[in-house]
Amino acid sequence: MKRFSDQKEYYLKHLKKQRKAMKNPFSILGRHHNNLDSFIQKEVNSLPKDSHILDAGCGLSAWTTNALRKKFIISGVDGEPDAISACKILYKNQDYQIGDLYNLKYKNNTFDAIVMREVIEHFIFPEKAVKEIYRILKPGGKIIITTPNYDSLPLHFIENTYNRFFGGTCKPYKHEVHPSKFKPSSLTKLINKYFTSVKLSTIDMGISQTLSAIKA
């Protein structure tokens, strides 16, 4: 039985498309992903200097900047070897590893914060991943999540209409690409089982959810 979506072609092409769009000031997709990154960067910058942060399901670790990498200790983990290879080229002498987010090799209470940027929707068993994140996060540590909002009519239009005809291989309306389709109520319910001080909001006409919470 698969534990997470296995769509290598979608995954790698989507990452490349996203990275290119983020450099284009006229790209709606680029602005959206830059807004996601701005949320993450704001949450991360509230942490003390030299905090150890894990980018869980890092992809190309797009939200990280040179300034953040100088201020914090940033590690990354992803199940896709090509993504980790790219990160090791992009971010010299940084800790990026191939890993299974259901069963990470880190010790208990390792990280001050953990970022899951557009990741949790790809898990078939998201609670198992959240429990593993809880295990390796220090008490008082912060979890930072962004994920599509499946209570959003604009998102349904984008995924089921626009992407169906113009998305190429990037077609997240397919069940196997986003097996966990969270609404604000279901995401809050899951995170509240393990964390406190849960703060959830939406951005870009409600298309995406942004969440932060603390490990008690």
Instruction: Give the model's pLDDT for residue 110.
Output: 99
Termini Cα distance of the chain: 33
Average pLDDT, rounded, for the chain: 87
Task: Give the model confidence (pLDDT) of 14-24 as tens digits.
Answer: 566 666 656 66
**How far is 73 from 13, CA to CA, in rounded Å?**
28
Q: Determine the residue type at 155.
A: L
pLDDT at residue 176 in the model = 65
CA dihedral 108, 111, 113, 119 (to 10 degrees): -70
CA–CA distance, 201 with 44 (Å, rounded to integer) = 17
Average pLDDT rounded to a whole number, residues 210-215 = 99
- Where do the structural domains in the chain lie, given as residue ranges? 8-214
To 10 degrees, what angle do helices 126-136 and 184-192 make? 40
What does the pLDDT read at residue 25?
67
Q: What is the pLDDT of residues 46-89, one digit of tens each?
A: 999 999 999 999 998 989 999 999 999 999 999 999 889 989 98
Q: How many angstroms separate the CA atoms of 97 and 80, rounded? A: 10
Name the pTM for this structure.
0.85
102, amino acid identity: Y
Would you say domain 8-214 falls under CATH 1.10.1370.30?
Answer: no
